[in-house]
Amino acid sequence: MPKVKVEKIIKAKKDKVFSTMTDFENLPSILPQIFKSVKIISREGNSIVTEEFVKMAGRDIAQKVKHVIQPTEKHEVFILEGDAKGSHIVESYEETSEGTKIIVEGDFKLVGALNLLGFLAKGKIEQSINEVMDEFAKILI
């Protein structure tokens, strides 16, 4: 299945970028075109489990996700249920002179509606990640 790596610099401080991107409950109001709904199911230490309805790669997806947060440095995403079940995504955050560099690396497992992307999957996923980061960049300026 597709492995992707996307990097982007957002012209904002690392703590602001990280806190905005990991404010799960508010993602639907921040980026309603991508995050249709996010419900927190549980919190334990630095681990948060959510039920999410998102639009990714042109598809509407319902999923259950485990987020493991290492504040301002790393956000790991484990998709527990849904069309990308078994996927693992790591977001790393680095302070630069230009702002915050975000590195997103993902190992995607695609089933159901997402499996229909076939050989186009890698490009569609990278495009979707870039679109999400572009939207965050607009908000955080």
What does the pLDDT read at residue 69?
98
- Predicted TM-score (pTM) of this structure: 0.89
SS (H, E, C) 4-33: EEEEEEECCCHHHHHHHHCCHHHHHHHCCC
State which residues form the domain around 11: 3-140
Question: CATH number, domain at 28?
Answer: 3.30.530.20
pLDDT tens for each residue of 63-110: 999 999 999 999 999 999 998 899 999 999 999 999 999 999 999 887
